[in-house]
Amino acid sequence: MMNRRSFLLSGLMSGVAAGVAQANAPLVSLRPLARAGGPISATANGGLSGVLARAGLSGKVVCAVADVSTGALLEEEGGASTLPPASVAKALTALYALDTLGANHRFSTELVATGPVSGGVLQGDLVLSGGGDSMLTTDHLAQMARSLKEAGIREVRGDFRIWDGALPMIKTIDPGQPDHVGYSPAISGIALNFNRVHFEWKRGGSGWNVLMDARTERYRPTVSMARMQVAQRSVPVYTYADKGGADHWTVARGALGNGGARWLPVRKPAAYAADVFLTMARSQGIVLKAAKQATHAPRGQVVAVHQSPPLSVMLKAMLRFSNNLMAEMIGLSATRARGVAAKTLAQSGDVMSRWAADKYGMKRSKLVDHSGLGSKSKMAPTDLVAALIAAHRAGQLKPLLKDFPLRDANRRVIKDHRIKVTAKTGTLNFVSGLGGFMTAADGTELAFAIFTADEDARAALSRAERERPQGARTWNRKAKDLQQKLIERWDAVYGA
């Protein structure tokens, strides 16, 4: 089935304003506030410590909450301690990108002709040049192929090349993840369909028919750079190998059933984009040679271009769907715009961490990437709360965050709940985070951060166990229940 988190991104964000202001707020110095009164005493039922103890959650819990209007710290538990933020880190990445690139920044993908065009013939190379657009899809390459034809080019005498050097080539976001998970694909200066390839299988005769394609709702071009073989075994379900410039997968025969589909990560983004563009150009009557890697950024005439949505729209999509590839490509692009040619996510994460320390006073927090997928990233609740308050005063971030629903005892969403929450969630195995804003029943607006982690349980997992480890789902549910209880507590105690 088509992955909703991936392929609804292009069409769902058009209503987001493109003019989000760049971060320019002063640092906020969080200070404890002794607040008496309110509907419930802060020490009732054991206070904050009582809520945490009753959660029965293994590992550690740290949290902090502050008044947005005054910057006053209302309460905290281990607020200066650090834990993995998981995808809550994407909120900081959004602020980093806005401050560096600006809300109206767009990423361009270009077709560049390196020679003259005469009589419909390009006397030179045609280069597909990636500019870091993490939302590029097969549809967009199809349009670029049409634009190439409309530019009057019917034949290319030179080579077809692809340039992906605008960003470093990184084979996976987190090497600790299983090879086959779609949320940890490769990164480079060009990405297509969020660097995921669609694998579909159907029973046919005594075996299965398998298909690898770059599908969208409009197109389903098959690809040759990603190949699948059904293997006579039950486990492991998938294996991956890099062979001859292609992604080679095998899948266990015993795991296939009668049919199905899933998205697999792409490890060779340039080859993937080139493969699909060759098909789209051929559909326009333009036959190109097999793609070659360009060794430097192309110079010549731009004959077709696709531009991404404005950065503010992309960030809203990135936060709403918690897309790891978008966070990493946007974060790396921001780092490069700051004049640092980071070659790894850790190097770029360090640049963002130093920026956060300078801008928001986040001196305890250290990020190893921009998505939060790497569990070596650490963030302190009071650090994040200070950044949230400063961003709120600058009119940033909150408009990009999505509503966080509160639920009843049966885990059903409570519509029109008196507490309104807009926040970024974060989930890894035995790690759960939540950070953002809540408006109490009386209109008091609070900024908060909650990080929970059982790092011992996570460290005990093998690489193969990390997709669906035993006990992680139950632990995560308890963590989310605790997050809601803390929000309800802060409404009762401080929303007076």
The domain ranges of the chain are 4-103+310-494, 107-308
**pLDDT tens digit string along 17-28?**
332 222 222 233
pLDDT tens-digit map of 77-128: 999 999 999 999 999 999 999 999 999 999 999 999 999 999 999 999 999 9
> pLDDT tens digits, residue range 292-328?
999 999 999 999 999 999 999 999 999 999 999 999 9
Predicted pLDDT of residue 207: 86
Average pLDDT across the chain, whole number: 91
Domain 4-103+310-494 top-level CATH class: alpha beta
> Residues 7-31: what's their mean pLDDT?
33
Query: Is 155's pLDDT higher than 70?
Result: yes
127 and 109 Cβ atoms separated by less than 8 Å: no
Confidence (pLDDT) at 215: 97
**Is there a contact between 48 and 77 (Cβ–Cβ < 8 Å)?**
yes
In this predicted structure, what is the pLDDT of residue 457? 96
Question: Which pLDDT score is estimated for 46?
Answer: 87
pLDDT tens figures, 390-399: 999 999 999 9
The sheet with strand 207-213 has its strands ordered as: 207-213, 196-204, 259-265
Q: Quote the percentage of the chain above a pLDDT of 90.
A: 86
Taking only the tens place, the pLDDT of each residue in 210-223 is 999 999 999 999 99
Average pLDDT of the segment spanning 407-423: 93
* pLDDT confidence of residue 44: 83
Over 90: is that where the pLDDT of 6 sits? no
What is the structure's pLDDT at 496? 64
pLDDT in tens, 55-84: 999 999 999 999 999 999 999 999 999 999
Split at pLDDT 50, 70, 90, the class of 33 is: very low
- Concatenated DSSP letters for 356-411? HHHHH---S-B-SSSSS-STT-BB-HHHHHHHHHHHHHTT-SGGGSEE---B-TTS
Given pLDDT bands bounded at 50, 70 and 90, which one contains residue 39? low
- Which H/E stretch holds residue 320? helix 311-321
Mean pLDDT on 417-437: 97
* CATH code for residues 107-308: 3.50.80.20
How many other CB atoms are there within 10 angstroms of residue 253's CB atom?
Answer: 13
**Residues 488, 109: Cα–Cα separation, whole Å:** 47
